[in-house]
């Protein structure tokens, strides 16, 4: 994963145009923060606190098993008007699981999302763990009504041998209007996340940007 660029090359977006890499800002200074792998105690709550300070909205791609373990935090995400996406039930790798297993795991996560969100979550956003997806899995997910959300910018907050300053630079140097940006509200990423996220929020807010949740 360290070899994946912080900025998704245009050629990759052109090769895979059916995936959502960024969103049209229609001339507005709007950005889309996303957080993968939660909800996790303390860490997701830290993220929500930071977002509140800047009146920022975001999209959380949640693991179904974590929703079941921490429903109160999941409910807090919803109550604070952030968007929710599906990140599978158990963070499955698409390239190591067959179609039936992968789709079932995704649907299991969706059931948990709906169980805990009632009618407050009508979107079907999906981000494949590790960014791994295949044509057959994409086709099946599309038939089921999912929008596949990838990214324009990676903070690389999960990488253990880089400093938080580098995560901040990854975002600030590569972000533009309409960028979808990836952070992780996970234990593994917490060291970098807790220092980089406040700096990113502060920098772009001062530049006149608004952070919004993904709405398709």
Supply the DSSP string of 40-106, one letter for each residue. Answer: -TTHHHHHHHHHHHTT--EEEEE-HHHHHH-HHHHHHHHHTT-EEEE--SS---GGGS-HHHHHHHH
Arithmetic mean of pLDDT, 66-86: 96
Model confidence at 122: pLDDT above 70 = no
Q: What does the pLDDT read at residue 5?
A: 94
Q: Are 189 and 162 in contact (CB under 8 A)?
A: no
**CA-wise closest residue to 142 among 130, 118, 124, 156:** 124
Query: Domain residue spans in the chain?
Result: 10-211
Q: From CA 47, how far away is CA 77, in angstroms rounded?
A: 10
Arithmetic mean of pLDDT, 38-59: 98
Give the CA distances from residue 74 to residues 14, 86, 105, 182, in Å, rounded to whole numbers and listed in that order. 35, 13, 19, 19
Q: What does the pLDDT read at residue 1?
A: 46
* pLDDT tens digits, one per residue of 161-180: 999 999 999 999 999 999 99
Q: Which residues does the annotation mark as catalytic?
A: 36, 184
**Prediction pTM value:** 0.96
- Environment class of 83 (CB within 10 Å of its CB; exposed 0-12, middle 13-18, buried 19+): buried
> Residue 172, CB half-sphere, CA atoms under 13 Å: how many?
18
Q: From CA 187, how far away is CA 72, in angstroms rounded?
A: 18
Arithmetic mean of pLDDT, 207-213: 97
Residues 6+ apart with CB under 8 A from 65: 89, 90
What class, spelled out in words, does domain 10-211 have in CATH?
Answer: alpha beta
Lowest mean pLDDT among 27-31, 188-192, 207-211: 27-31
Mean of all residue pLDDT scores within the chain: 95
Is the dihedral angle over the CA atoms 47, 126, 212, 80 positive or is it negative? negative
């Amino acid at each position: 994963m360290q070899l994946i660029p912080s900025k998704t090359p245009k050629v990759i977006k052109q090769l895979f145009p059916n995936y959502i890499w960024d969103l049209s800002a229609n001339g507005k200074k709007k950005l889309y923060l996303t957080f993968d792998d939660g909800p996790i105690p303390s860490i997701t709550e830290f993220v929500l606190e930071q977002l509140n300070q800047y009146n920022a909205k975001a999209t959380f791609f949640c693991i179904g098993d974590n929703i079941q373990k921490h429903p109160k935090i999941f409910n807090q995400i919803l109550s604070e008007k952030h968007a929710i996406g599906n990140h599978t039930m158990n963070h499955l790798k698409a390239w190591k699981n067959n179609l039936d297993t992968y789709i079932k795991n995704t649907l299991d996560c969706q059931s948990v999302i709906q169980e805990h969100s009632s009618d407050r979550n009508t979107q079907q956003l999906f981000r494949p763990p590790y960014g791994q997806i295949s044509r057959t899995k994409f086709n099946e997910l599309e038939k089921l009504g999912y929008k596949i959300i990838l990214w324009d910018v990676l903070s690389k907050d999960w990488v253990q041998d880089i400093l938080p300053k580098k995560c901040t630079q990854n975002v600030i140097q590569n972000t533009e209007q309409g960028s979808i940006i990836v952070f992780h509200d996970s234990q593994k990423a917490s060291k970098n996340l807790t220092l980089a996220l406040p700096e990113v929020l502060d920098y772009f807010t001062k530049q006149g940007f608004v952070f919004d949740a993904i709405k398709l």
